[in-house]
Chains A and B, each alone.
Chain A
Amino acid sequence: MEKKMNIRTMPQEDHLLNGHGACAGCGVAVAVKNVMRILGENTTVYVPASCLLVSGGGMYPHSAFDVPFFYSAFENTGAVISGIKAGYRRQGKDVTVVGIAGDGGTFDIGLQALAGAAERNEDVIYICVDNEAYMNTGTQRSGSTPFGAWTTTTPVGKRVQGKRQFKKDLMSVVSSQDIAYAATLSIAHMNDFVQKVEKAKSKKGFRFLHIMTPCTSGWKSDPSMTYDLARMAVETGMWSLYEIEDGETRVTYRPNEMVPITEYLKLQGRFKHMSKEDIETLQGWICQKWNKRYCPAVPPLEKKEEELALNGDHCEGV
């Protein structure tokens, strides 16, 4: 069997060059840098309004990408990458076309163009770099912001503290269409990351990669914690790693045991106000997700205690 690519064997040449303007420790920069290494120089990049546009796409006439780079309106990613690909097809060129949008640009404002491109099964790669809020404009809530998180539009007041809704399950929205490939990625699971990007590159048709990218400014975390946050998100069940190919879902990493969500929350300033009840609500939501993801055969139970017992042992305090 062919050996899978890993971080030691992956291509080394950079196409998001240094000198970009992202914050120190930016998760988006880690993700995009490595995506670009694997996609290689025969790639055209589209980025809508987002941190990555400003910091990497740069201020005209500058850019940190050394491959052709496009920018159009915020809501258009799915449409523009379809158009770029059509242009190349017309010219008889085989170029990898990738659109890299933020969570605001994907979950909310870009969802319509994304759904259109997925339905037409356009031959493009769509990547969502998910930092769980509109960071470029100073942290406003998006459909991706988790329950309880502070943002400037879900402030912490006396009666309501942080966001009241749960994170939108975007993967099931996107994969409900028959697309070629969809996967969730984490920068803390490096070989898994590399293999999924490589697989997406090798396929034809609409490919969707959803990468969780911690953000030091918006999450109010230390720059050196970006890796730990990405890892803890998976260990606590806030994020899970799987891929969907030909309608089949395959979990690519399963944590040994569920770590209580507080271990993840305490690393970030955006959750520091959270009350005990709110944490319990969030933990309950995660337990449900966890069971659905990792033990799909088990029917949902009424009682939380039993639910936990099923996962093995963990999450006392729920």
Chain B
Amino acid sequence: MYEIRFHGRGGQGAVMAAQTIAEAAILEGKQAQAFPFFGAERRGAPVMAFARIDDKKICDKTQVYEPDMLVVMDESLLDIEPVAAGLKKGGCAVVNSKTAPSDLDLGIKVRCISVDATSIAIELLRAPIVNTSILGAMVRANDFVSLESVQRAIMNRFGEKLGEKAGRVNSDAAKAAYDRAREGTCRGERKIVKKNAWLPTWQETPPGVAIGKTEKAGMAVGPGSMSQNLTGTWGGANPVYDEQKCIKCQRCWFICPEGCVHRKDDDHVEFDLRYCKGCGLCAKVCAKEAITMRKKGASE
């Protein structure tokens, strides 16, 4: 059985990628399944999807804990998620990155394919939707299905939904990624720290008694404990504030869905970027253009 785990961000199309690769396998007469991780994650949040491919019937219905192939659709996830946890020793990794495989540090030394899927997607699809290009890089990493089947599966899935032309450019994106992917071995220096979720036992929560604010197994629980969730990694842009232009109207403070805007004593504001998802609403409501949105990584 060949098991694949996708790591992406909500809205990037990780689930669609998993479904397409499964469909490609089915087109070749194999057995396959694909499904997302069921959680509370929304657009921009780190998400996972899974696929399994086999010649015989697949009875396993669990998540993929020890993948043969790891697909990382957003490179920034490497720093915030233990993406390579459980990856098999002889497995391989496919990473959407401009960097050469030998300069990528996944925390485990395996065969690695890197491809600049974002540029390919922008070039061919005119949008940074990388799920189809990444599929091309996946078959380059391991020919468990052929590129032709993947392209046919893309035509089926995308062509049906978005029209034949869209199907064709998406299939071209897969081919381009197949051609441009770079092969190598990644580094294994970073430490992979698995997240340990704590759940109370029935003895710890007697009937009718809710959990108060405490800390368990190194993590906050109870009311307000979601603050440990630093959502600032979700977004692609941050606000830049010009205090000179600000008239202290507080509209940005009101509109920020994340509560990133803090009011100082003199009613000027400051931004807590640890939680900023980059929606850009603060810049929108500012009548004086004191706030502009800057893409992350862009220079001053």
Contacts and interface: CB of A to CB of B under 8 A. Distances in A.
A-B complex is real: yes
A72 interface: no
Contacts of A51: 42
Interface string A101-134: 0000000000000000000000000000000000
Given A14-B259, A224-B281, A66 B223 contact: yes
27 contacts: A7-B253, A7-B254, A8-B249, A18-B231, A19-B226, A21-B226, A24-B44, A24-B257, A24-B277, A26-B42, A26-B257, A29-B258, A30-B256, A33-B256, A34-B254, A51-B42, A55-B42, A61-B225, A62-B220, A67-B223, A223-B277, A223-B280, A223-B281, A224-B283, A226-B279, A227-B255, A227-B281
A225 B285 CA distance: 10
B231 A216 contact: no
Contact of B251 (A27, A29, A63, A190): A190
B281 to A, nearest CB: 6
Given A24-B235, A62-B221, A64-B224, A7 B43 contact: no
A128 to B, nearest CB: 18
B257 A22 contact: yes
B280 A224 contact: yes
A217 interface: yes
Given A19-B230, A21-B41, A55-B42, A7 B258 contact: no
A228 B281 CA distance: 9
B281 A226 contact: yes
A20 interface: yes
A145 B293 CA distance: 32
Given A7-B254, A17-B259, A18-B258, A62 B279 contact: no
Interface string A20-58: 111111110110011000000000000000010011101
A7 B224 contact: no
Contacts of A216: 43
A54 to B, nearest CB: 4
A12 interface: yes
Interface in B205-232: 210-211, 213, 216, 220-231
A160 interface: no
Nearest to B225: A62
Nearest to B253: A7
Interface in B268-289: 272, 275, 277-281, 283-285
B42 A7 contact: no
A59 interface: yes
A65 B272 CA distance: 19
B275 A18 contact: yes
Nearest to B260: A18
Given A21-B226, A61-B198, A223 B231 contact: no
Interface string A247-282: 000000000000000000000000000000000000
Interface in B234-265: 234-235, 248-251, 253-260, 263
A18 B223 contact: no
Contacts of B80: none
B42 A22 contact: yes
B199 interface: yes
A21 B231 contact: yes
Contacts of B250: 7-8
A63 B221 CA distance: 8
Interface string A208-228: 000000001100000111111
Given A7-B254, A30-B254, A68-B210, 13 more contacts: A14-B259, A21-B41, A22-B42, A23-B10, A27-B257, A29-B258, A30-B255, A51-B42, A61-B198, A64-B224, A217-B42, A223-B280, A227-B255
A27 B256 CA distance: 10
Contacts of B59: none
Interface size class of B (residues with CB under 8 A): 35 or more
A191 B280 CA distance: 21
B45 interface: yes
A70 to B, nearest CB: 9
Nearest to B224: A66
Contact of A7 (B198, B200, B251): B251
A74 interface: no
Nearest to A61: B221
A60 B210 CA distance: 10
Among A25, A66, A217, the most chain B Cβ lie within 10 Å of the Cβ of A25
A183 interface: no
B229 A21 contact: yes
A187 interface: yes
A64 B231 CA distance: 12
Among B256, B258, B263, the most chain A Cβ lie within 10 Å of the Cβ of B258
A55 B21 CA distance: 30
Contacts of B272: 18
B40 interface: yes
Contacts of A12: 263
A294 interface: no
Nearest to A9: B250
10 A-B pairs closest in CB distance:
A66-B224, A224-B280, A25-B279, A29-B257, A24-B277, A19-B229, A64-B226, A223-B279, A24-B279, A23-B42
B281 A30 contact: yes
Nearest to A67: B223
Nearest to A63: B223
A61 B199 CA distance: 7
A242 interface: no
A223 B256 CA distance: 11
A70 B48 CA distance: 29
Nearest to A6: B250
A14 B260 CA distance: 11
Nearest to B278: A24
